[in-house]
């Protein structure tokens, strides 16, 4: 009997050990570029011993998780753009999380009231202005609305109006001003373009340096990447050519964020990963590695980004911005903005 009891206890311990080993992992599905997120994930594993199994998805992340259904291995889904984040929620692919750690670290405006989504970093949509041809005092007064004024005819550069970064900005303006106003604004903004709306945000700085345009719309962190030298000496010159303007009446922000997947097989580890990503250490890494802005008010900005000035986030709630994306996108097409 003693031998049988000992054998049973031994088998139970083996089972518990195997279960513990299986539990010490978390499966992350993400659209973020590997180089931008890997340092944070490596630090999480070093700190906790939890292995992060990462699946990098270029697009269609929500569709993939939905297709996998209850068999999905996804514990955490991490995306860029508030629209993509809200898609996970709207398609019931996220589960609610109640965490005192997350609620203390992330301001209410940057997380779902039901705990189904959490912003992890901010991406400010700024105005780039030529240091050579736009006076500092004039640049400081620039607004999104001003870029459509006649004085900027042939002087504006921007990437595609259908890019998520611009769609989010146009959605913000749609909520603030209404559909007729946005239609007129985009028509006038298109008339001010120095070239077709195309390329990327870095190319806005490149074309300002080249004298093709004087102002443009782009995200702040690209200037951080350029000025840091990560894009090479040529891109450093692009970054040096522009002044980053954060509109004082309210800067439009987008986010990177994450959810705990509805059928997460490792829920506890998923929550633990989100709590780490919201920690002061991880938020500082976001700022240092990516030049993004932390969601934690107490996390320091990278010095380059801090030099852009104070960020005053616009008042339009993120879910409202996401809800208006399709309308904004339709208006972009109707005015032929990218043609």
Say if residue 185 is in the same domain as residue 282.
Answer: no
Residue 311's CB: how many other CB atoms inside 10 A?
17
76-80 and 25-30 as β-strands: parallel, antiparallel, unpaired? parallel
Mean pLDDT (the chain, rounded):
93
Note the pLDDT of residue 22: 52
Q: Is residue 75 one of the residues assigned to a domain?
A: yes
Note the pLDDT of residue 36: 81
d(CA 304, CA 313): 19
Domain that holds residue 149: 124-252+310-334
Q: Is residue 305 one of the residues assigned to a domain?
A: no
Provide mean pLDDT across the span 190-207. Answer: 98
Instruction: Read off φ and ψ for residue 321, nearest 5 degrees.
Output: -60, -45
Note the pLDDT of residue 220: 97
Q: Which of 34-38, 122-126, 188-192, 243-247 has the least mean pLDDT?
A: 34-38
Q: Is 6 exposed, middle or buried (0-12, 13-18, 19+ CB in 10 A)?
A: exposed
d(CA 294, CA 285): 9
Note the pLDDT of residue 18: 45
Look at residue 226 and tell me whether its pLDDT is greater than 90: yes
Look at residue 323 and tell me whether its pLDDT is greater than 90: yes
Look at residue 170 and tell me whether its pLDDT is greater than 90: yes
Say if residue 248 is in the same domain as residue 206.
Answer: yes
DSSP H or E stretch at residue 123: strand 118-130
DSSP H or E stretch at residue 51: strand 51-56
Say if residue 101 is in the same domain as residue 181.
Answer: no
- Higher-scoring residue by pLDDT: 11, 185: 185
Q: What is the pTM of this model?
A: 0.89
Q: Is residue 21 one of the residues assigned to a domain?
A: yes
Say if residue 115 is in the same domain as residue 257.
Answer: yes
What proportion of the chain, given as a percentage, has pLDDT over 70? 93
Q: How many domains does the chain have?
A: 2
Look at residue 6 and tell me whether its pLDDT is greater than 70: no
Q: Is residue 339 one of the residues assigned to a domain?
A: no
Q: List helix spans (H) across 24-110.
A: 34-48, 61-68, 82-90, 100-105
Say if residue 82 is in the same domain as residue 191.
Answer: no
Look at residue 8 and tell me whether its pLDDT is greater than 70: no
Three-class SS of residue 175?
helix
Note the pLDDT of residue 85: 97
Q: Is residue 97 one of the residues assigned to a domain?
A: yes
Say if residue 75 is in the same domain as residue 164.
Answer: no
Annotated binding residues, written as ranges, equal 221-222
Provide mean pLDDT across the span 284-300. Answer: 92
Query: What are the C-alpha distances in Å from 236 to residues 156, 172, 213, 241?
Result: 21, 31, 18, 9
Note the pLDDT of residue 75: 98
**pLDDT, tens digit (0-9, with 9 covering 90-100), for 25-39:** 999 999 998 888 999
- Higher-scoring residue by pLDDT: 15, 285: 285
Q: Is residue 112 one of the residues assigned to a domain?
A: yes
Say if residue 320 is in the same domain as residue 190.
Answer: yes
**pLDDT, tens digit (0-9, with 9 covering 90-100), for 149-159:** 999 999 999 99
Provide mean pLDDT across the span 283-287. Answer: 91
Note the pLDDT of residue 286: 87
Look at residue 303 and tell me whether its pLDDT is greater than 70: yes
d(CA 151, CA 138): 12
Look at residue 20 and tell me whether its pLDDT is greater than 50: no
Say if residue 9 is in the same domain as residue 138.
Answer: no
d(CA 180, CA 174): 9
Residue 19's CB: how many other CB atoms inside 10 A?
10
Say if residue 165 is in the same domain as residue 241.
Answer: yes
Say if residue 181 is in the same domain as residue 314.
Answer: yes
CATH number (domain holding residue 54): 3.40.190.10
Sign (positive or negative) of CA dihedral 90, 103, 30, 76: negative
d(CA 97, CA 75): 12
Say if residue 133 is in the same domain as residue 207.
Answer: yes
Say if residue 318 is in the same domain as residue 277.
Answer: no
Annotated binding residues for Fe cation, written as ranges, equal 221-222
Look at residue 184 and tell me whether its pLDDT is greater than 90: yes
């Amino acid at each position: 009997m003693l031998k049988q009891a000992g054998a049973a206890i031994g088998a139970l311990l083996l089972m518990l050990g195997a279960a513990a080993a299986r539990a010490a992992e978390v499966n992350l599905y993400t659209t973020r570029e590997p180089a931008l997120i890997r340092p944070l994930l490596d630090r999480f594993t070093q700190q906790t011993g939890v292995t992060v199994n990462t699946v990098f998805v270029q697009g269609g992340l929500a569709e993939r998780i939905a297709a996998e259904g209850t068999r999905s291995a996804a514990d955490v889904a991490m995306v860029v753009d508030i629209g993509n984040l809200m898609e996970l929620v709207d398609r019931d692919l996220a589960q609610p999380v109640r965490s005192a750690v997350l609620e203390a670290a992330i301001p209410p405006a940057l997380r779902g009231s039901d705990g189904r989504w959490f912003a992890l970093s901010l991406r400010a949509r700024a105005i780039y202005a030529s240091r050579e041809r736009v006076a500092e005092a004039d640049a400081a007064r620039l607004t999104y609305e001003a870029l459509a004024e006649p004085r900027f005819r042939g002087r504006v550069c921007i990437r595609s109006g259908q890019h998520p970064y611009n769609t989010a900005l146009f959605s913000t303006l749609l909520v603030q001003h209404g559909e007729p106003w946005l239609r007129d604004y985009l028509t006038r903004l298109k008339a001010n373009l120095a070239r077709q709306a195309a390329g990327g945000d870095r190319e806005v700085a490149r074309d300002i340096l080249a004298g093709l345009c004087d102002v443009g719309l782009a995200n702040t962190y690209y200037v951080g990447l350029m000025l840091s030298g990560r894009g090479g000496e040529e891109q450093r010159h692009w970054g040096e050519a522009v002044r980053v303007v954060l509109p004082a009446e309210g800067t439009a922000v987008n986010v990177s964020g994450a959810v705990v997947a509805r059928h997460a097989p490792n829920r506890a580890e998923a929550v633990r990963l989100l709590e780490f990503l919201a920690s002061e250490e991880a938020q500082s890494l976001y700022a240092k590695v990516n030049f993004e802005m932390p969601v934690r008010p107490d996390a320091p900005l990278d010095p380059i980004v801090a030099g852009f000035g104070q960020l005053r986030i616009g008042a339009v709630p993120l879910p409202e911005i996401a809800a208006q994306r399709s309308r904004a996108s339709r208006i972009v097409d109707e005015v032929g903005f990218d043609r």
